[in-house]
Chain A
Amino acid sequence: MTFLKKYPKAAKVAKANFIVAFIALSIGGLFGFIQALHRTDVFRGFINSGQYYTVLTGHGVLLALIFTTFFIMGLFVWGVTRSLDREPENITFTWTWFWLMVVGLLLATIAILGGLVPGSSIRAAVLYTFYPPLQAHPIFYIGLALVIIGSWMAGADWFRSYLKWRKDHPTERIPLLSYMTLFTMLMWYVCTVGVAIEVVGLLIPWSLGWVTKIDPLLPRTLFWYFGHAVVYFWLLPAYYVWYAILPKFSGGRLFSDSMARIVFIIFLILSTPVGFHHQYADPGIPLGFKFYTMSATLLLLLPSLMTFFTVIAGMEHGARQRGGKGYFAWLGKLPWDNPPFVGCALAGIMFAAGGFSGIINASMNINIMIHNTLWVPGHFHLTVGTAVALTFMAVSYWLIPQLTGKRLKFKTLALIQPYAWFLGMTLMSNAMHRGGLAGIPRRTAEPQYQGFNFHAVFGSVTEIRWQIAIGGTILLLSLILFLWVIVGTWLKGEKAEHPVDETIPEPLSGPEHTPAILDNIKLWLALAIILVILAYSFPLWNLVKDGIFSPGFLPRPS
């Protein structure tokens, strides 16, 4: 039985989430292309430089916050339903959180796009980090708050399913897909507390004029309390795909179930108390806490390396099943002509490169070399922009047939798409990293100045600009291919009894070898909360003891 036939209600919810995600992806991606041409001065005809920041806000919010969150919701609805073998407990509740998130997204998007209408008072050119005293229209903050509240309800939905399932299965291990969902959502609850307090407690009252002044460092710190964990909220669903599904794409089996669980536990514990590494260059944050954060951040390399080895072991197993031999020759036996496999594998390779530049970001002293330069978006276009986004696109080629009951169309285009993304990102990202080393700032419409010129450490600034523009163009073409394949499949795909092989093989080392303590949700959540308190209580107390809104500054229109 296909997923669609077995769980029609969940399939509908998952599809609705994917539709929103793909619309956000297409608009956000187009904005990225416009920026790539604008800031490199290749073509500045789409927008003027003042509007650049509205487009940049749209790019960040629609991709980093909306595309990711909605895609993750769809993916988790699919995984929880399938692995617990239950439809959502109360479908009205499920649709309520979906529509709440949609209303939130529309409010935020209206606020952002208002900035492109001349004379509009509805604006939100505050970028996706929305640091005050720059102020957006209140509906921007209210919209973001609704998206977060909706996502909390979604998490509650899955916990409810889990508890119901637990009643019927008192001794069974939590199925891996649900386990990864629950731990990701626990981490999400821990980290979104910060941004919820920031948005609901400080920014909404302030943008409505109920309080006039704001202390800029406090909301900034609360944002980064959330702002690094959010990258793991994007990444863990990619890990979910790499652990649970990628071994199948490669013709193999997951190497170790316990390894996957341990990795998710480490992320739950360490994702949030690392936010200060985005504030190494901030005055007002004590040095000792920056150091503590650096240590925790470097510890986070461990679960990523564990993932790297475990996932590759699963892939190698697959390749050897297909007749692969030798130390490295087996790599050639992997299904390099299968779009979902190619997308996930190339995403993984890019993530390794992103990990290296991440180590530099995480290191206190060398971070200062690249802080707020083009290096930083160069880094996260490898991580969220490829490891996450390309994995999501790749797994869509496998999920959309399950959810629509239709065979994937345009398989050749679907195969070209991940290779094109990889090529475009290689050009754009290497150039952005090198541009950052030359000191070229991020988030700037025209990084060309009157009084001096940038000097590239290697290559030239002109060549860097062209690689960014060409890379960004290839990425847009790749995105068009993706949308073409998905929309084509959805609308014109051929109906089939079994449009895709939905089975997921058992792990080589399954849950029967997994220590029971790994499923102790309360223990790991408690540990996560303790580490957060250690990292944040003193610095936050320092910021609020002189008054929550003091030292206070007046808002500035964005």
Chain B
Amino acid sequence: MNLRVIGANKTIDPQNIQNTNFGHPGVRKVTKNGVAEYDVYIKAMQFAFQPGTGVPITLPANAKVTFHLTSVDVIHGFEVVGTNLNSMVIPGQIAKFTTIFPEAKSYGVICNEYCGPAHHVMEGKINVIPKSEFDEKYLVQ
């Protein structure tokens, strides 16, 4: 999987999260040069990822996926176990990185920065499915 080390991106005003894409987090489809790509907006909070915890994040294999992460309370981590997708999720900042999942597979997601007394239960799931099976129902409505 390709991943570049993340650098500076945008800050986000904590009062106005509802009016951004993080107000309706989830997977969005964008078409660039006629190719479908995906943006995933994820909101981290004590002690869940939204989406990810409860509702898994479903993504197509072999497509460009850009993650956008922010936190609404304390500093969290976002680690896709067994991969090199690993980022801090810092309140006020948006972490952004792009990857391609090469095969259909299910991944565990964990918070790897201490975030409070129930930190150890903060986990989620990414289900990567074949491109052919991916459809509108996995996108944010």
Contact = CB atoms under 8 A, between A and B. Distances in A.
B98 interface: no
A368 B119 contact: no
B6 A281 contact: yes
Given A367-B5, A368-B84, A439-B110, 5 more contacts: A281-B77, A284-B90, A371-B86, A551-B91, A556-B73
B88 interface: yes
Given A53-B114, A134-B116, A441-B77, A281 B88 contact: yes
A445 B117 CA distance: 9
A328 interface: no
B8 A284 contact: yes
Contacts of A439: 79, 81-82, 110
A368 B86 contact: yes
A285 B8 contact: yes
A127 B3 CA distance: 30
Nearest to A135: B74
B29 interface: no
Residue among B3, B5, B111, B113 with the highest chain A CB neighbour number at 10 A: B5
B135 to A, nearest CB: 23
Given A134-B116, A283-B95, A551-B92, A455 B74 contact: no
A365 B82 contact: no
Interface in B105-119: 106-108, 110-119
Given A220-B75, A441-B77, A286 B119 contact: no
Q: Is the interface of A mostly helix, strand, loop or mixed?
A: loop
Main SS of the interface on chain B?
Answer: loop
A364 B108 CA distance: 24
Contact of A372 (B12, B113, B120): B113
A554 to B, nearest CB: 8
Interface residues on B, range: 35 or more
B11 A284 contact: yes
Which 3 residue pairs spanning A and B have beta carbons closest together?
A: A452-B108, A287-B7, A551-B92
A279 B88 CA distance: 9
B88 A283 contact: yes
A364 B5 CA distance: 7
Contacts of B92: 215-217, 284, 551-553
Interface string A433-465: 000001101111111011110110000000000
A217 B90 contact: yes
Given A290-B5, A372-B113, A451-B125, A133 B73 contact: yes
A50 B112 CA distance: 16
13 contacts: A131-B113, A217-B92, A220-B90, A279-B88, A282-B88, A284-B92, A287-B7, A368-B5, A371-B112, A447-B120, A451-B108, A452-B108, A551-B11
A133 B93 contact: no
Contacts of A443: 112-114, 119
Given A125-B117, A444-B119, A445-B120, A134 B5 contact: no
B39 interface: no
B23 interface: no
B87 A281 contact: yes
Contacts of A284: 8-9, 11, 90, 92-93
A132 B113 CA distance: 12
B61 interface: no
Interface of A: 49-50, 53, 56, 125, 127, 131-134, 215-217, 220, 279-288, 290, 364-365, 367-369, 371-373, 438-439, 441-447, 449-452, 454-455, 542, 546, 551-553, 556, 558
Nearest to B83: A439
B115 A368 contact: no
B14 interface: yes
Nearest to A546: B11
B46 interface: yes
Contacts of B133: none
A441 B11 contact: no
Contact of B93 (A283, A286, A368, A446): A283
Contacts of B106: 452
A49 B9 CA distance: 35
B107 to A, nearest CB: 7
B8 A542 contact: yes
Nearest to A373: B112
B6 A441 contact: no
A464 to B, nearest CB: 15
Contacts of A132: 74
A361 to B, nearest CB: 13
A157 B56 CA distance: 60
B93 A217 contact: yes
